[in-house]
Chains A and B, each alone.
Chain A
Amino acid sequence: MKPLTLTLGLLTATLTAPAMAATTLNVFTAGDDNMVEYINEFLAPRFEAMYPDVSVRALGTGPGDAGSQAIYETLSAQRDQATWSVDVAVVHQRMAGQMVEEGLLADYVDAIATGDLVSAQSARNALGVDVEGYVMPMFQSQIAIAYNPDLLEQPPESYTALANWVEEHPGQFGYNGITGGMAGVGFVFGWMYAFTDMADTLQNGPWEEDATARWEPALDQLRTFNQHVTMTPGNAGTLDAMNRGEIAMGPVWMDMYYTWKTDGRLNPNFRLLLLEPGMPGQPMYYTIPERAAEPDLAAEFIALATSPEIQAEGIVGQFNWFPGIDAEHVRSELSDAQWEQLYADVSPETLSERGFSMPQADYFRAILEAYESHVSR
């Protein structure tokens, strides 16, 4: 037994040693692996260079709303405690609204230097909930259709055309339903924008009690549509299935798409397009929990992450994501080539015309429930 105890002691010592030497900033992030990677590989070293006695610990809670739900549950389980174990939380829009309403988040934006670099509507209102002052957008992402030009030269450009196209090309379109991440969820929302007459109401409210009944034709159509498509396991699964040649096109997050492309993990021939009438996108938000253990460091961390230099160098330059702060502050930090690369596949005009927001929180949930009871069962 002795050697075992000794080994254990040694292991514990190695594990706890670095943690004791420094203050730890706990950053919880929802979303796919690439989010954790960005914080770990890009942000953390820069922040630690500024604050040598701080170490950043980034934890991923999983893709899609489930990841934000996990952060919400972590925080609400600690409601009665004096300080909470999360210093910075990166969450999706829907959960940000709910967390602000339940008083789980701190009002911090006015206190940081970069607070006035954001003027976008989505920084003030998250799916119908007023979140002004509580959130800073990390980046703006957009769901788009990726396609493989080797397999199809003339991709369908609208939801209507796509619905016809899949009947002639069964299995060639793939998406991840609504259980495997937001790309599939967003595709479904886009479907509802296209095939119900409620596109505007879904995005801006107000809530209408009888709405769900009016969705039935669109949901029935989606059910038929699903019989001709391939289901992929998760956001990454769609890209993966394209890589393996199993499908020719499918909805993806543009940020993930570009991360993979720069990594050399994606066939460089792939292209993106936005379906007509439009597809949703959303920002990821930096938030600080109301009783974070290190609120000041957390604010500094977010100020760094939303500074024009970092947004230019990291978000746009390195990862090809759309900046979270207003574009004009980022533009000057970048070369023309970098800037154009951002819009290589989708032009700024198309983006402003076909880039929609996610539905309001009530509709958000109602559409998912309706999908489960009408389409997937």
Chain B
Amino acid sequence: MKASTLLTQIGLGLMLGIVAFIVFGPLLNLAMWAFAEQWFYPNRFPTDWGFAFWERVFRPRAGAWVSLFNTIIVALLAVLLSMALAIPAGYALARQALPARNVIMLLFLLPQAFPNLPIFVNIAAIFYQWGLNGTLLGVVLVHSLPGLVYAVWIATATFATVDRSLEEAARNLGASPLRSFKDITLPQALPGLLAASIFVFLDSIDEFTGTFFVGAPEITTLPLLMFNASMGGNYQVAAITALILLIPSVGFMLIIERFLKADVLSRIGR
């Protein structure tokens, strides 16, 4: 190996080391907090390690279990609701000649094109009148809004990639429209629709602002629990909750490309 190549390799290694530190440093710091029992200035490392705070987070009264259940239930219901709305809409937008199709596509783009905090604030005010504040339904609805946008986009792109000739063949053989959709179109579109569901699920798990205005204090989700712990100075509790929140995020990050194929990705928003 030539000296210059060696030098390049070392330089590359160094650069990647810095990138790795930037990416993993904060995560490592968080993990340290999750297991620190006593840690204050000027100690560079925790002076006491242990699981005491884990026990505290997960004891029955502390609310972590309820928040965890809420988070999962809300996310699942938001997926169900958005997909139930997005699959027919996406199919129609991809396949059928609709009047003002571009306007409709634009309409499904708007919620992601403008900051959503004012929207959530006003949804909360409206939900107060409808008695939906602090209810599970209210939170599911609020979580479905951004989810719906993703779901419609991805579903439209997915249905556009499904081979139309097979579907027409089935129809020619006498299958009903519903049957040909169920047996031919849906299986082919499944990976894309699963990707859409994952997006909605992740988005719902991340969702903070909407829950903050519509759900709190009756419905607490993990992000809210984490936020309150952090603002209350309970770094350990916040770190432990954050670690739990990281499981789905990192898990899906590692597998997302299996679901979202390049041909679907390139069609999003068209």
**Chain A residues within 8 Å of B, Cβ to Cβ:** 4, 7-8, 11-12, 14-15, 28, 32-34, 40-41, 44-45, 59-63, 70, 73-74, 77, 85, 233-234, 236-237, 239-240, 243-246, 260, 264-267
Contacts and interface: CB of A to CB of B under 8 A. Distances in A.
Interface residues of B, number: 30
A61 B218 CA distance: 9
B232 A40 contact: no
User: Considering the complex of A and B, which 4 residue pairs feature the smallest CB-CB distances, nearest first?
Assistant: A236-B233, A33-B232, A245-B41, A59-B217
A240 B233 contact: yes
A11 B136 CA distance: 13
A40 B73 contact: no
Contacts of B133: 74, 77
B232 A32 contact: yes
A33 B76 contact: no
B42 interface: yes
A62 B232 CA distance: 9
B69 A11 contact: yes
Nearest to B228: A33
B217 A8 contact: no
A245 B218 contact: no
A240 B62 CA distance: 22
A264 B37 contact: yes
B76 A40 contact: no
A244 B40 contact: yes
A85 B218 contact: yes
Interface in B115-168: 128-129, 133-134
Nearest to B218: A59
A32 B231 CA distance: 9
Contact of A233 (B38, B129, B229, B231): B231
B231 A61 contact: no
Contact of B41 (A59, A243, A260): A243
B72 interface: yes
Interface centre among A44, A59, A233, A260 (most CB of B within 10 A): A59
Contacts of B69: 11, 14-15
A33 B229 contact: yes
B2 interface: no
B249 interface: no
A139 B133 CA distance: 30
5 contacts: A14-B69, A33-B231, A59-B220, A70-B217, A246-B41
B41 A267 contact: yes
Given A8-B73, A267-B41, A41 B233 contact: no
Interface string B36-80: 011011100000000000000000011100100100110011001
A34 B229 CA distance: 10
A253 to B, nearest CB: 12
A147 to B, nearest CB: 14
A166 to B, nearest CB: 20
A266 B229 contact: no
B61 A41 contact: yes
Interface string B169-213: 000000000000000000000000000000000000000000000
Contacts of A41: 61
A267 B40 contact: yes
Given A14-B69, A73-B128, A266 B228 contact: no
B41 A244 contact: yes
A11 B72 contact: yes
B232 A34 contact: yes
Contacts of B72: 11
B29 interface: no
Contact of A245 (B42, B73, B233): B42
